[in-house]
Amino acid sequence: MMQPLLLPIPREVSIDANQTSLPEKATIRISSAELLFEAQLAQNALSQYANLNWSIVTHAHTSGLTLTIDPAMPHSQGYRLITHAGQTTIIGKDAAGVYYGVCTFAQLLQHYGAALPDMLINDWPDFPVRGVMLDISRDKVVMMETLYSLVEMLASWKMNHLQLYMEHSFAYSQHEIVWKEASPFTAQQILEVDRFCKQHHIELVANQNSFGHMERWLKHAPYKQLAECPDGFIGNFGDHLGERRPATSLNPLDPASIALIDGLYSELVPNFTSPTLNVGGDEPWEMGQCQSRQDCETRGRGRVYVDYLLKLYELTQKHGRQMMFWADVIVKYPELIPDMPKDVIAIEWGYYMGHPYEQHSPMFAKSGLPFYVCPGTSSWNSLAGRTTNAIGNTRDAASTGLKYGASGFLMTDWGDRGHWQPLAVSYLGFMCGLANAWAYDANTELDLPALLDRFVFKDSANLMGKIAADLGDLYTLPGLEYPNGSLLFFLLQQNDKDLATLIRNLDQNVVLDKPFGIITETMQQCLAKIDDSLQQILLSKASGLIKDEFTQVANLMRHACQRGLFMNGDKGVSAAYLLNDLENLIPQQRLNWLARNRPGGLKDSIKRFEPLLRQYRDLTGDIPSYL
């Protein structure tokens, strides 16, 4: 019999040709009241997909569905699902295992309806921790309804760890100047999300960046003098090469930096029941350029960095939490890894295919330091995502993490440069990452378009999944690809001069083995593919919001291509047309944003269109209505 469409695919599935309709009158029997929530999920799935209304009981001689815990089962979070002659039994090692069995049962009902085949499923996770980190600090802060819906969906794919990446998006009582325009999460909201997550067997982990990426703080007068470089610095890396940047990093030598972070932890951490705290610590770009320059020169930049991490470690101990930190700096100083306490967790992150997980992971394994592997959804800096990269990146991380004993897998979803991509673009990456983290060998060849249509887009026409994957692969066309985004994205954010500098810098320093730049043939080919996708979106049966989001993504990419043709001298595209087109796209960008997200940050995100609008205005002599 054909295998059902399941996500993640279980590691052991045996299906018999016999099919039996589930009885109209039956019960859901649970071995203890502890499993009431799991039983209710099963009850809802039976009603939705099989039109059956079974009551929940704790005692019955026979039942249509039995949920029970057996601690003697071999694998934590594992389960066994047995269907025979219209009866189903789900046995879990623990309550989480029962929950995951119920998630699979619900997907079986979605596939078969009330006529389930006889089958046996044995399933358990590869990684004990399978997480997602959602960026809520790059302008976009999700509404509570959006977050709850996302948690339910990702939990059904067996996610058990969630982080909300914070820089300035928590309503700290003493720091309103930092967050007042951001629509931040409040303490009560975190408490409510924590409770909701626990129901779904998810650990909500506190996350507050505590070194770099503090620009939203350091731009304000009360905090400016805490900066490594209070007056800013010149970027010397990647797509920021030569760019004038505001202060982003705290001065690691100033006791006031630690005092600030201590105060933040005091207010943030008690809202989480998790014993873990992610202190961040990634990308302190300007460290050693200003206030700490002398110390970095005499003691070494790595030593100064690790000493600051150890101060953060003392704070996490003070607040009763286990410290987690980003590992991008410490891997440059492997001789210092043994200096880190053995109860911290390093997060080895890398977001492109070919990231050196194979070189970095043994450093942590050898030192005995617990570590997570951390790929990404590849959604940011791209508009439509980067499908091939997301798949390859998650596979690299999962396979290497398993090889070297990583204790967790954390899938990140960033919002660099204004968080323009809609949430719908990230679903493919979440799906691929969580499936690989659950059972790698069983999930290396996923039919992602079909899975997206079934479990996310609810598209009976089976079109939207392929549209999403295809739009997400346009970045692979000649000239558009670099390791952390697509040129189409930057065609919408930078004027001619800045874009030429970016292309030159990336071509010389990042993109070494392929063309990078505006190629007329690529823009024409890309336009044709986008126009085809727009026609397919009209035929899709997905929800209106999903169609609106992908239509907007396609139209923005279309505008980028037309701007590229204009820059290359195409007489069929005028500045007046481009100005009018972009002005018409901006209101829809606002509408799509507000359908899922809070208003704070929207103004800052929309402002990133200004360099292009100003250039079009200069070329046409018109003043955009937006301005």
Kindly report, residue by residue over 48-78, the tens digit of the pLDDT: 999 999 999 998 777 899 999 999 999 999 9
Per-residue model confidence as pLDDT tens digits over 318-331: 999 999 999 999 99
**Residue listed under structure tokens 């079109």:** 463
pLDDT value, residue 235: 81
pLDDT value, residue 1: 62
**Residue listed under structure tokens 């499993």:** 35
Domain ranges in the chain are: 12-123, 129-214+258-446, 469-620
pLDDT band per the 50, 70, 90 thresholds, residue 431: very high
- For residue 1, the Cα-to-chain-centroid distance in whole angstroms is 35
Distances (CA, A) of 420 to 178, 434, 484, 490, 531: 22, 23, 15, 12, 20
Q: Report angle CA 608, 613, 618 to the nearest 5 degrees.
A: 140
pLDDT value, residue 623: 62
What single DSSP character describes residue 350? -
pLDDT band per the 50, 70, 90 thresholds, residue 480: very high
What single DSSP character describes residue 229? S
Q: What is the mean pLDDT of residues 388-413?
A: 98
Q: Report angle CA 158, 161, 164 to the nearest 5 degrees.
A: 130
Q: What is the mean pLDDT of residues 558-577?
A: 97
Q: What is the mean pLDDT of residues 404-414?
A: 98
Cis omega (within 30 of 0) on the bond before 341?
Answer: no
Task: Determine if the pTM surpasses 0.85.
Answer: yes
Residue type, 64: G
C-beta separation of 425 from 469 below 8 A: no
What single DSSP character describes residue 324? E
The distance between the two most distant Cα atoms of the chain, rounded to a whole number of Å, is 82
Q: Provide the CATH topology of domain 129-214+258-446.
A: TIM Barrel (3.20.20)
pLDDT value, residue 483: 87
pLDDT value, residue 239: 67
Given a cut of 50, whether residue 626 has pLDDT beyond it is: no
> 298 or 3, which is more confident?
298
Could you tell me the two tokens for 551? 């239509």
Residue type, 582: L
Strand pairing category for 12-21 and 115-123: antiparallel
Strand pairing category for 244-245 and 233-234: antiparallel
Closest by alpha carbon to 127, among 399, 327, 430, 347? 399
Which secondary structure element, helix H or strand E, spans residue 133, and what is its range?
A: strand 129-135
Closest by alpha carbon to 271, among 196, 200, 208, 188? 188
**Percentage of residues in the chain with pLDDT exceeding 90?**
92
Q: How far apart are CA 550 and CA 332, in angstroms?
A: 40
Q: Same CATH fold, 129-214+258-446 and 12-123?
A: no
C-beta separation of 72 from 91 below 8 A: no
Q: How far apart are CA 186 and CA 179, in angstroms?
A: 11
Strand pairing category for 79-84 and 115-123: antiparallel
Radius of gyration of the chain (CA): 25
Q: How far apart are CA 257 and CA 248, in angstroms?
A: 13
Name, in order, each residue with C-beta under 8 angstroms of 318's C-beta and a sequence gap of 6 or more.
Answer: 262, 265
pLDDT value, residue 497: 93
Q: Provide the CATH topology of domain 469-620.
A: Four Helix Bundle (Hemerythrin (Met), subunit A) (1.20.120)
Mean predicted lDDT score pLDDT of the chain: 96
Q: What is the mean pLDDT of residues 621-626?
A: 60
Q: What is the CATH number of domain 12-123?
A: 3.30.379.10
Given a cut of 50, whether residue 627 has pLDDT beyond it is: no
Per-residue model confidence as pLDDT tens digits over 235-269: 877 667 777 889 999 999 999 999 999 999 999 99
Closest by alpha carbon to 347, among 91, 165, 580, 150? 165
- Beta partners for residue 410, in sequence order: 131
pLDDT value, residue 606: 98
